[in-house]
Amino acid sequence: EAKGGPFTPLARRLSAQIIRERLKIRAHIFWNSSRFFWEIPPSLTASLAQSQLVIFKGDANYRRLVGDSRWPAAAPLADAVPYFPAPFVTLRTLKSDPIVGLQPGQAEALDRVDAEWRVNGKRGVIQAMV
């Protein structure tokens, strides 16, 4: 925690929630693997099923959620991830092709202004299935 840095208040709030056990960080060897999230081991699935909200971050984890597949961009997130055992939010900077949950026509509009929008890291999404 940098003294007086812009994230100091956030770090303090998160630390307080961890102390109160309202925020839990769960370590598991699965998170370091390259396996898709529908391959989560049963013991971890059972633990996640008890969560009120799971937070995923990053392009690689998004790809693991949607199977690293090129879904129709307007396909609902729930169609791509029907298997996950708990509500979740995913935060991602786009660095690869897979994307779901956009409004109809939104991907085509982006294609017209930036042919590399899916992969150049200039855009991001926050999506939730709660």
Nearest Cα to 30, choosing from 19, 42, 18? Answer: 42
Is 14 within a domain?
no
Cα 99 to Cα 128: distance, rounded to the nearest angstrom: 13
| 85 in Cβ contact with 112 (< 8 Å) | no
Number of domains in the chain: 1
CA distance 55 to 69: 21
93 domain-assigned: yes
pTM of the predicted structure, to 2 decimals: 0.88
Is 53 part of a structural domain of the chain?
Answer: yes
Domain residues for the domain of 75 are 35-129
Block means of pLDDT (10 residues each) for the chain, 130 residues, are 78 96 93 97 96 96 96 98 98 98 98 98 98
E-only strand ranges, the chain:
54-57, 88-93, 124-129
Structural domain includes residue 84? yes
Whether 86 is covered by a domain: the verdict is yes
Return the pLDDT at 13.
96
Q: Is residue 25 part of a domain?
A: no
- Tell me, yes or no, whether 68 lies in a domain: yes
pLDDT at 4: 73
